[in-house]
Amino acid sequence: MDRFTVRRLRSSIGMSVFGWLVLGVAVAGGTAAGLLALLGWPRIPAAGEFGVAQTLELLKIALAVVAGFGGVVLLAVNLRRQRVAEAEHDLAVERGEREQVQSFNERFGTAAEQLAHESPAVRIAGVYAMAGLADDWLAKRQVCVDVLCGYLRLGSAEPDPGEVEVRDTVLRIVRERMRTGGHWRQVALDFTGVRFVDADFSGMVFGGDVTFDGAVFEGERTSFDHARFHGTLSCHGTSFDSRLTTFTSARFLGTGVEFVGTRFGGEVVDFRDAELRGRSVDFYRVAFGKQKLDFSAVTVRSGVLRFESCEFSDVELSFELLNDLLAFHDGASPHGRVSIEDSRFTDGSFDLRHVVSPEPGPLWLLHTRFENVEFRLPGEPPAGRIHVRGLELVGCDLPGAYTRELSSRSTGAPADRDDQAPA
């Protein structure tokens, strides 16, 4: 509401009072005429016929009428004053909001200029300024975070020591604000094409989507230990080249996780004690080579841990899927399962000694080739055998006592790639 509106409200007070008076007179006149008509238009006595008591009563009536009109006038004035006060308050609020937004925009421009400065020290100041603005400006917090992520995406392939410090500052700020109790847990993060060295995302809470498409992880260790993912995790064409890549005790809660065309080049990929509860964790067209893959004590309460069209070359793969770590429905097909489909194993070992569960079993091996692979099996066949279909075994053997061959019409066979393994 602008100043012109406020002035117009003030100027209309007189007109409003006059209008209320006219309305009051009209109502009073109409009421009097109605009463006289109801009484048959009686004759009004002459003034000399009224006694003292009657004159006093008439005077009281007149004063009451005058007081009523005065009350109407006061009510109209107070109503208009209230409207003017509300209009002035709204105007002050709007003015304050505009001034605050203007201040935020000025801070944004200053921080952006600092991020583009030649001096690393000034760029670090710009990082803190942009992060502080993201803390204060809730409406544009995502924009400020996008700027910081964009800075990382625009980094050079071989940054100088000053630039490394700036980038480390950005990542440190992101970690601080996205761990439990942080301010930024609901924002999305886009790290497409970013190069990380010894990345530490442990303990972070990703409330929004996080993208690592085309990113490269290098160094001794890349850690997502105890991280919680509530949004989509996208790793399309990502390279995990750290010696250790760990998702120990990570939680994937009601989200989709996609490792598509991802390359794991380190020595160990560790998903111990990870929990999947939601859609699926998909490894699609992923190459594993000469490394240890540890999926022991994985919890698959709902959804699917799926490996599809993957290549396993000379790897040590182990699962440990215990009875109390899997959810079942009506004693039939489980909500949670592990599915390896249309993949190829060459050399290496596959540890199945701890894949123990009631029927029908959580592990599915579908249309997969095993060549010179050592199957490590328990001494006795487990109660819940492994579901298999279309296996090709070359130079190795998986005894039938440990498997259950699925027909194309097997009950409980999955039918939807988003939820379960293909039939």
The 10s digit of each residue's pLDDT in 103-122 is 989 999 999 999 999 999 99
92 compared with 54, residue with greater pLDDT: 92
**What pLDDT is attached to residue 400?**
84
291 compared with 90, residue with greater pLDDT: 291
Choose among 166, 159, 170: nearest CA to 119: 166
Q: Residue 412: pLDDT above 70?
A: no
Neighbours of 8 (CB within 10 A): 12
φ/ψ region of 220 (left if φ > 0, alpha if ψ in -120 to 50, else beta) reads alpha
Q: Residue 316: pLDDT above 80?
A: yes
The whole-angstrom separation of Cα 129 and Cα 134 is 9
319 compared with 273, residue with greater pLDDT: 273
Structure tokens at 204: 């972070």
Q: Residue 337: pLDDT above 90?
A: no
Q: What average pLDDT does the segment 292-309 reach?
A: 87
**Residues 321 and 356 sit within 8 Å (Cβ to Cβ):** yes
Going by pLDDT thresholds of 50, 70 and 90, the confidence category of residue 418 is very low
φ/ψ (deg, to 5) at 184: -105, 20
φ/ψ (deg, to 5) at 386: -80, 130
The whole-angstrom separation of Cα 406 and Cα 52 is 114
The chain-wide mean pLDDT, for the chain, equals 80
Alpha-carbon distance values, 361 to 73, 126, 334 (Å): 84, 55, 8
Q: Residue 136: pLDDT above 70?
A: yes
**Rounded (5°) CA angle 377-379-383:** 80
**What pLDDT is attached to residue 323?**
40
The 10s digit of each residue's pLDDT in 266-288 is 899 999 999 888 778 999 999 99
Cβ neighbours of residue 63 under 8 Å, at least 6 residues apart? none
Q: Residue 423: pLDDT above 90?
A: no
Choose among 243, 240, 244: nearest CA to 262: 240
Structure tokens at 87: 């209009």
The 10s digit of each residue's pLDDT in 157-198 is 677 889 999 999 999 999 999 886 677 888 999 999 999 999
Q: Which amino acid is at 113?
A: E
Going by pLDDT thresholds of 50, 70 and 90, the confidence category of residue 414 is very low
pTM above 0.85, yes or no: no
74 compared with 178, residue with greater pLDDT: 178
Least confident of 4-18, 144-158, 224-238, 375-389: 4-18
Long-range pairs for 328-331 at CB < 8 Å and ≥24 separation? 328/358, 331/358
